[in-house]
Amino acid sequence: MHKLRTTLAHLYMGAFLIYLIIPLVIMAGAAFNDSKLPSIVPWRGWTLHWFYDLFQDERMWVALFNTMVVALAVAVISIIIGTASAILINSISGRIRTVIYGLMISTILIPGAVIGISTLLMWNKLGVPPGLHLSVLGQVSYIAAMVMLLVLARLQTFDNALEEAALDLGASHAQVMRRILLPHLYPAIGAGGAVAFFQSIENFNVTQFTRGGVDTLTVYVFSKVRSGITPTINALALIMISITLLIAIWYEISRRRKERIMLAGMSRDDE
Amino acid sequence: MQDLIRRYGVGLTGLMVLLVAFWLLMLVIIPNITLFESSFRPYLPVVEMGGPKDVYSPNNYLKVFDGSVETTILGMTFMVPVHIRTFFLTIWYSVTVTLACFVLAYPVAFYLAKIANPKSVPTLLLLLFVPLWVSEVLRAFAWWIILALKGPLNSLLLSLSLIDKPVRWITDYDAVLIGLVYTYILFMLFPIYNAISSLDTNQIEAAEDLGASRWRIHWRIVLPHSKPGIASGAVMVFMLSAGSLLVPSILGSTTSQWFTQTIQQWMNDALDWNTASAYAFLLLFLCTAFVSLVMWIFRVKLSDIAK
Number of domains in chain A: 2
- Pairing outcome for strands B76-81 and B68-73: antiparallel
Q: Are residues A88 and A21 in the same domain?
A: no
Q: What is the CATH number of the domain that holds A141?
A: 1.10.3720.10
pLDDT at A228 over 70: no
pLDDT at A63 over 90: yes
Q: Given an 8 Å threshold on Cβ–Cβ distance, is A117 in contact with B142?
A: no
Task: Check: CB of residue B154 under 8 Å from CB of residue B166.
Answer: yes
Residue B125 in contact with partner chain A when CB distance is under 8 A: no
pLDDT at A115 over 80: yes
Q: What's the pLDDT at B272?
A: 85
Q: How many CA atoms are closer than 13 Å to the CA of B55, on its beta-carbon side? A: 3
Q: Which residue has the higher pLDDT, A24 or A264?
A: A24
Q: What's the pLDDT at B84?
A: 86
Nearest by CB: B27 against A87, A125, A137: A137
Q: What's the pLDDT at A247?
A: 86
- Write out pLDDT tens, residues B180-231: 999 999 999 999 999 999 888 888 888 888 888 888 888 888 888 888 899 9
Among chain A residues, CA nearest to B305: A105
Task: Check: CB of residue A220 under 8 Å from CB of residue A59.
Answer: yes
Q: What's the pLDDT at B214?
A: 83
Q: Are residues A42 and A157 in the same domain?
A: no
Q: Are residues A5 and A118 in the same domain?
A: no
> Taking residues B144-164, what's their average pLDDT?
84
Q: Are residues A121 and A207 in the same domain?
A: yes
Q: Are residues A72 and A9 in the same domain?
A: no
Q: Given an 8 Å threshold on Cβ–Cβ distance, is A145 in contact with B145?
A: no
Q: From the candidates B94, B110, B130, which should be mutated to test the interface with A, based on the most A CB atoms within 10 A?
A: B130
Instruction: Please state the separation of Cα A214 from the chain's center in Å.
Output: 21
Q: How far apart are CA B143 and CA B153, in angstroms?
A: 10
Q: Which residue has the higher pLDDT, B33 or B65?
A: B33
> Taking residues A107-129, what's their average pLDDT?
91
Q: How far is B87 from chain A (nearest CA, A)?
A: 15
Q: What's the pLDDT at A151?
A: 94
pLDDT at A196 over 90: yes
Residue B116 in contact with partner chain A when CB distance is under 8 A: yes
Q: Given an 8 Å threshold on Cβ–Cβ distance, is B111 in contact with A13?
A: yes
Which residues have CB under 8 Å from B129's CB, separation 6+? A248, B186
Q: Are residues A3 and A125 in the same domain?
A: no
Q: How many CA atoms are closer than 13 Å to the CA of A139, on its beta-carbon side? A: 32
Q: Is residue B74 very low, low, confident or very high in pLDDT (cuts 50, 70, 90)?
A: low
Q: Are residues A34 and A89 in the same domain?
A: no
Task: Check: CB of residue B64 under 8 Å from CB of residue B282.
Answer: yes
> Taking residues B73-87, what's their average pLDDT?
78
- Write out pLDDT tens, residues A19-51: 999 999 998 888 888 887 787 777 888 888 888
Asked if residue A106 belongs to a domain, the reply is: yes
* Structural domain for A36, as ranges: 1-47
> How far, CA to CA in Å, does B291 sit from each of B228, B238, B261?
13, 9, 22
Q: Are residues A141 and A170 in the same domain?
A: yes
Q: Return mean pLDDT, chain A.
A: 88
Q: Is residue B307 very low, low, confident or very high in pLDDT (cuts 50, 70, 90)?
A: low
Question: Of A84-88, A225-229, B80-84, which range is least confident?
Answer: A225-229
> How far, CA to CA in Å, does B208 sit from each of B107, B221, B226, B266, B291?
18, 11, 19, 58, 35
pLDDT at A1 over 60: no
Q: Are residues A116 and A210 in the same domain?
A: yes
Percent of chain A with pLDDT over 90: 42
Q: What's the pLDDT at A268?
A: 65
Q: What's the pLDDT at B83?
A: 86
Class of domain B67-305 (CATH, top level): mainly alpha
Percent of chain A with pLDDT over 70: 97
Q: Are residues A126 and A40 in the same domain?
A: no
**Nearest alpha-carbon partner for A138 in A59, A68, A73, A65:** A73
Q: What's the pLDDT at A269?
A: 60
Asked if residue A123 belongs to a domain, the reply is: yes
Q: What's the pLDDT at A216?
A: 92
Q: Given an 8 Å threshold on Cβ–Cβ distance, is A117 in contact with B287?
A: no
Nearest by CB: A118 against B20, B32, B148: B32
Question: Of A41-55, A186-200, B20-34, B94-108, which range is least confident?
Answer: A41-55
Task: Give me the torsion for CA of B213, B219, B222, B224, rounded to 10°.
Answer: -150
The domain locations on chain B are: 67-305
Q: Given an 8 Å threshold on Cβ–Cβ distance, is B239 in contact with A13?
A: no
Which residues have CB under 8 Å from A81's CB, separation 6+? A140, A144, A147, A148, B19, B20, B22, B23
Task: Convert A151-163 into a string of H (helix), E (strand) and C (coil).
Answer: HHHHHCCCCHHHH
**Nearest alpha-carbon partner for B111 in B132, B92, B125:** B125
Q: What's the pLDDT at A264?
A: 80
* Residue B287: its H or E element: helix B273-298
Residues in B closer than 8 angstroms to A20, CB to CB, are 127-128, 131, 182, 186
Q: What's the pLDDT at B248?
A: 93
pLDDT at A270 over 60: no
DSSP B45-101: -GGGTTSTT----THHHHGGGSSEEEEEETTEEEEEEHHHHHHHHHHHHHHHHHHHH
Q: What's the pLDDT at A33?
A: 86
Q: Are residues A111 and A194 in the same domain?
A: yes
Residues in A closer than 8 angstroms to B182, CB to CB, are 19-20, 23
Q: Is residue A122 very low, low, confident or very high in pLDDT (cuts 50, 70, 90)?
A: very high
The predicted complex's ipTM stands at 0.86
Please say which residue of A47, A67, A84 terminates a domain.
Answer: A47
pLDDT at B61 over 60: yes
Asked if residue A271 belongs to a domain, the reply is: no
Q: What's the pLDDT at B92?
A: 92
Q: Are residues A173 and A207 in the same domain?
A: yes
Asked if residue A253 belongs to a domain, the reply is: no
Q: Given an 8 Å threshold on Cβ–Cβ distance, is A218 in contact with B137?
A: yes
